[in-house]
Amino acid sequence: MITSKQSAAALGFAFAAAWIGFSFGYAVLCLVGAGAFYFVASYVEGGVDLGELGDRLSPQRTGGARQPSPVRRTGARVR
């Protein structure tokens, strides 16, 4: 079984090889493509829940009630 350290080392080597062989932009594009395919594979295997992901990325809703603003004291200096 491959450990996460070995996978990271292989990814680093592949990135450096792509950077040397092509250019930095193409190397970054390879990383973006690999990340996209990793995400799709995780979704297909059931490791990613899009509903939960959407909840994490969306701003918190308070149900229409406004949160009270913090009280600011004027005239006092804090050092």
pLDDT digits (tens, 9 = 90+) for 6-36: 887 888 888 888 888 888 888 888 888 888 8
Among left, alpha and beta (phi > 0; psi -120 to 50; other), residue 13 is alpha
Whether 69 has a pLDDT exceeding 70, the answer reads: no
Three-class DSSP category at 1: coil
pTM summary value: 0.47
Q: Kindly state the DSSP code that residue 46 receives in the 8-state scheme.
A: T
Q: How far apart are CA 8 and CA 34, in angstroms?
A: 13
Angle between helices 4-21 and 24-45 in degrees, nearest 10: 140
Hey, where are the domains in the chain? 23-58
